[in-house]
């Protein structure tokens, strides 16, 4: 998934958020990136 402005706005709307204070990117990797999962977490109101 690519995180575009539109995807961020849709995620905010779905979560009922009106403002983003900051965001964290979490990466989980196994076997030298054979399997990788990325999660973008937003914090705000």
Domain extents for the chain?
5-44
Split at pLDDT 50, 70, 90, the class of 2 is low
pLDDT range class, residue 30, cuts 50, 70, 90 = very high
Q: According to the model, what pLDDT value does residue 29 have?
A: 93
Which range, of 2-6, 23-27, 28-32, averages the lowest pLDDT? Answer: 2-6
Q: How far apart are CA 16 and CA 12, in angstroms?
A: 6
Give me the DSSP letters along 3-45. Answer: --HHHHHHHHHHHT-S-EEEEEEEEEEETTTTEEEEEEEEEE-
């Amino acid at each position: 998934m690519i995180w575009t402005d539109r995807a961020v706005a849709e995620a905010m709307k779905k979560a009922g958020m009106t403002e983003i204070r900051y965001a964290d990117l979490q990466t989980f990797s196994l076997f030298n990136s054979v399997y990788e999962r990325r999660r973008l977490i937003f914090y705000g109101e």
